[in-house]
A = this chain, B = another copy of it.
Amino acid sequence: MSRIIRVAAAQMGPTQKAEPRARTLERLLALLEQAAGQGARLVVFPELALTTFFPRWLLDEAALAPYFEKAMPNPAVQPLFDRARALGVGFYLGYAEQTPAGQRFNSALLVAPDGSILGKYRKVHLPGSVEPRPGARFQQLEKRYFAYGDLGFPAFRAGPAWAGAILGMMICNDRRWPESWRMLGLQGVELVCLGYNSAAYDPNGGSSEDAALRSFHSKLVAQANAYMNASWAVAVAKAGEEDGSGLIGASCIVDPNGLIVAEAATLADEVLVADCDLDLCRQGKDKMFNFAAHRRPDQYGAITARAGVVEPVAAR
């Protein structure tokens, strides 16, 4: 049997700070229409899809506040929700969330084809620093602007429009941490949606990482972790030169063998489509990666017992 869901990766080119929100929404709608026109039922947009990647700057409160969504949906994005529902297409959308209590998260929503919100995720692995790095042209201040995600890594079982898929979400840096994938794998995830904004240079300073290497890293972690959890993965960039700072592309759709079945060719708005047969996950989930049969959690204590490294003592 096959349980096929046609998925689109809706890569975005850069969103300049000066771009009006209405223009960004037009782009999202155009990507949605293009994906729906190709028969996709799930469209994955990037992290922070509504704005420029503002954590690259040290901003005061007045400059920062407009980047956050106080409710989702809200009038500015309602047309995307309405059009998706009319088309019978659901989507993953990354955005900056501000709660009524004033807490701020780097978040993503999963909206079902009927318009209902199937799930929400708040980024756990915030990269960067709280304090700006002196002398750096661009900062990475996610630890300053966002609270750590407090929803765990929930997986969601979709309805028949999405073939009953078990879906999970990640955001950007989460994908480099195998723990994120394993938390979803332990819920039987069949398709991971993940959006990102990843610098085309080393965001922590240094000159040893360029766009080619960072694109390789981005694909490598999606491929290996998809394989090791026997899941599909849809990894979607905001790409290109954004406000003078480069972002990698390399959006891709990965199968449960870790093979890339579709990959972006540009750093611009671009739609990739693939038919993801969820039953292809069974080969891994039932055999090599039958977790109940083969995992040895009694040997993994340090993974949850501590965050950091404890080196072995010096040699005798």
Contacts and interface: CB of A to CB of B under 8 A. Distances in A.
Query: How many copies are assembled?
Result: 2
A258 B228 CA distance: 16
Nearest to A290: B308
B148 A309 contact: no
Contact of A227 (B173, B221, B314): B221
A121 to B, nearest CB: 12
B304 A297 contact: yes
Contacts of A124: 296, 299
A78 interface: no
Interface string A275-293: 0000000010101110110
Nearest to A311: B188
**Interface size, A (range):** 35 or more
A217 B287 contact: no
A222 to B, nearest CB: 9
Nearest to A224: B224
A178 B183 CA distance: 12
Contact of A179 (B220, B292, B303): B303
Contacts of A209: 283
Interface stretch (A16-24, A39-47, A154-162, A265-273): A154-162
A312 B154 contact: yes
A308 B213 CA distance: 35
B208 A283 contact: yes
A310 B225 contact: no
Contacts of A220: 220, 223-224, 227, 258
12 contacts: A127-B294, A155-B311, A177-B294, A187-B309, A188-B310, A216-B257, A221-B224, A221-B227, A223-B224, A292-B307, A292-B308, A304-B304
